[in-house]
Structure 1
Amino acid sequence: MPDLIEPDVRVRESFLESVEEFLAEGRGGENTMLGLWREKFADRWESEDGFADFVAYLHADATPDAPRPDHHVPQSTWWLVEGDRYLGRISCRHALNDWLAEYGGHVGYEIRASARRRGHATWMLRSVLPHVHALGIDPALLTCDDTNVASRKVIEAAGGVFEDQRAQKLRFWVPTDVETAAAAPSQE
């Protein structure tokens, strides 16, 4: 059964395999989370020490005082794992800058290709909502491409209410409070 954990060095091999899956799909380019990570760490995350630096960076990124580009905000990241197998990630941006308010939203997630269509994204999003609420965010803005039917279904399953479309992005508001956001169901 999958778990949602803070980034951990124990899943290095599987994480790196997932990077290859994302790249094979054409993901991980500019203006993506994976693209940023690759730019900063791909030259060294194959080594245990380099991957430990990457994990430390992710932990530090959640703190307000961590060094980051001017246009970035503090962000907490969790990984979906099954044992030592990395399945995906979900991140919560602690605040919205202008670009995030229009297109990016508070929460972003992705599931590696070999782990899709099993309900992982829905379970992961529902599971992270209490953490998002604890950050003082309610409701949370989530966006997806207008062509991404699967992501739209994930957002709607978590209680997302459609607000509007801006360019190719659909925008939804998802309640994060415990009363409205039901506890994550067990994954079958």
Structure 2
Amino acid sequence: MPELISPDAAWHHAWREAHLEWGPGLHEDGFGLLPGDDVETPAGFDAWLHRLAADTRCTYRWITEDGRVLGGIALRHEEHEAVPRAGRLGYGIRPSARRRGVAAWAVEAMLDEARRLGMSQVLAVSAAGNRASVRTLEAVGGVLQQDDDGGQVRRYVLAAAPGSE
């Protein structure tokens, strides 16, 4: 059974395995990676974790199971600068863990966190061509609000509080 954990330096090796599986780039939404982050060295990894922990406008969680990092998920709250572009919820599942319902499970778990933070709704943004993400957001009750950028981006609203649909 997967679980959500706070980013932790003890998981450096397992996190690096997941990161390497994705290949080069910063496409693992949910991990809060920035172009200048050094996640290769233990010191750089620790500095990145400290930056994440200091970000009071976002809750970062890693999706783990049996000693493996399956993915990451982030809940952006307050006035986080990424919300207009990326929404309040971002996630990524490593390729070998996809098609098992892990993303839907993690989204639902983060909606519980959103409820605890007093949020009634959560905006999630997906590339229209990312069929797996679109299916995930629809499976957890996401309601399509609009297509942006000529149909390239879809914005879904997810109910975080009971009865807020």
**Shorter-chain TM-score category?**
0.7 to 0.9
Q: Does the CA-based 8 Å contact 1:10-1:84 persist in structure 2?
A: no
Report deviation, 1:127: 0.9
Instruction: Report which stretch shifted further, 135-144 or 89-98.
Output: 89-98
Aligned to 1:6: 6
Q: What SS class does the counterpart of residue 52 from structure 1 fall into?
A: helix
Q: Does the CA-based 8 Å contact 1:143-1:169 persist in structure 2?
A: yes
| AA matched with 1:28 | L
User: Where does structure 1 differ by over 3 angstroms across 4 or more consecutive aligned residues?
Assistant: 32-38, 95-99
Q: What SS class does the counterpart of residue 41 from structure 1 fall into?
A: coil
Question: After superposition, what is the alpha-carbon deviation per residue over 1:66-92, rounded to whole angstroms, capped at 9, x for unaligned?
Answer: xxxxxxxx2110000013211100001
Report deviation, 1:180: 4.7
TM-score, normalised relative to structure 1: 0.76
Question: After superposition, what is the alpha-carbon deviation per residue over 1:119-152, rounded to whole angstroms, capped at 9, x for unaligned?
Answer: 1001000111011122232211011011111111
1:162 paired with 2:144, answer yes
Higher strand share: 2
The within-5 A match list for 1:25-174 is 27-28=25-26, 36-42=33-39, 45-47=40-42, 49-61=43-55, 63=56, 74-95=57-78, 100-101=83-84, 103-167=85-149, 168-174=152-158
Residues 35 and 137 of structure 1: CA distance in aligned 2, closer, same or farther (over 3 Å):
closer
- In structure 1, C-alpha distance between the alignment counterparts of 2:66 and 2:2, rounded to whole Å: 7
Aligned to 1:69: none
Report deviation, 1:160: 0.6
Q: What SS class does the counterpart of residue 23 from structure 2 fall into?
A: helix
Unaligned segments of structure 2, at least 5 residues: none
Aligned length: 161
Unaligned segments of structure 1, at least 5 residues: 64-73, 182-188
Q: RMSD across aligned C-alpha pairs, in angstroms?
A: 2.3
- In structure 2, C-alpha distance between the alignment counterparts of 1:153 and 1:144, rounded to whole Å: 10
TM-score, normalised relative to structure 2: 0.85
